[in-house]
Chains A and B, each alone.
Chain A
Amino acid sequence: KQEVTQIPAALSVPEGENLVLNCSFTDSAIYNLQWFRQDPGKGLTSLLLIQSSQREQTSGRLNASLDKSSGRSTLYIAASQPGDSATYLCAARDSGGSNYKLTFGKGTLLTVNP
């Protein structure tokens, strides 16, 4: 059974700092991995999707990497802004028979202070 862990659970940084959020998964046979942002009490916004054959994806100030062999992914946020404050979730998609199934981590609560 896939398990996804995110470290740290919470992170507080000053505006302008570069930061890294970590995601680990126990079963390396994933189809892809996706990073989301969730604002309080709201739904999820897709940030980046990395297919199992890819090593990284970039979108603006965000860069996500994937190392399947070690079961790790990182989300790098450059020049953080107060508007980046949210919970960041990673989710691994199984590559087995139920290849649509996503397993989520508990998220990292990011606070960017002005």
Chain B
Amino acid sequence: SAVISQKPSRDICQRGTSLTIQCQVDSQVTMMFWYRQQPGQSLTLIATANQGSEATYESGFVIDKFPISRPNLTFSTLTVSNMSPEDSSIYLCSVVSLNTEAFFGQGTRLTVV
């Protein structure tokens, strides 16, 4: 299994500002994944972060809004830029083990006011 530390655990932000979420894994992994969970909804994949290359974004998500960094094999950040109330969600990072079992961080609960 993998232990994933994500921070902050929650934040309340003003519209128009940006928030950077950090994700630290206790082992080296090739791919890290960022998900969004809007209120009352299930998880939606935002992007896949590979070390040494640009992140791959899913349909409906763009780099200008959700820039991602992946400086090494144990760490990644997701920035939510120019926030609006519609960005209020839980953001989660995830990794996959060798047998493709997915593990998640404890999530960042973002409220934009």
Q: Which residues of A contact B (CB under 8 A)?
A: 31-32, 34, 36, 41-46, 49, 51, 89, 91, 93, 99-102, 104-107
Known: A101-B45, A102-B45, A105-B42. A46 touches B99 (CB 8 A): no
Partner of B100, one of A36, A89, A93, A106: A93
Residues in A with CB closer than 8 Å to B45 are: 101-102
A32, A99, A102 pick with most chain B CB within 10 angstroms: A102
Partner of A44, one of B10, B41, B100, B104: B104
Within B64-113, the residues touching A (CB, 8 Å) are: 90, 92, 94, 96, 99-107, 109
Q: Which residues of B contact A (CB under 8 A)?
A: 1, 4, 6, 10, 31, 33, 41-45, 48, 90, 92, 94, 96, 99-107, 109
**B104 pairs with A43, CB closer than 8 A:** yes
**A43 pairs with B100, CB closer than 8 A:** no
**B101 pairs with A41, CB closer than 8 A:** no
**A41 pairs with B107, CB closer than 8 A:** yes
Q: Compute how far the CA of A107 lies from the CA of B96 in the bound complex, rounded to whole angstroms.
A: 21
Chain A to chain B contacts (Cβ below 8 Å), 13 pairs:
A32-B100, A41-B90, A43-B92, A43-B105, A44-B94, A46-B1, A46-B104, A89-B43, A91-B43, A93-B102, A102-B43, A102-B102, A104-B44
**A34 pairs with B101, CB closer than 8 A:** yes
**A91 pairs with B102, CB closer than 8 A:** yes
| Sample of 8 more A-B contacts, CB < 8 Å, known A41-B90, A51-B99, A106-B42 | A42-B107, A43-B4, A43-B6, A46-B1, A100-B31, A101-B45, A102-B45, A104-B43
Q: Compute how far the CA of A44 lies from the CA of B48 in the bound complex, rounded to whole angstroms.
A: 18
Residues in B with CB closer than 8 Å to A51 are: 99
Residues in B with CB closer than 8 Å to A34 are: 101-102
| Distance in Å: Cβ of A42 to nearest Cβ of chain B | 6
**A46 pairs with B100, CB closer than 8 A:** no
| Distance in Å: Cβ of A41 to nearest Cβ of chain B | 5
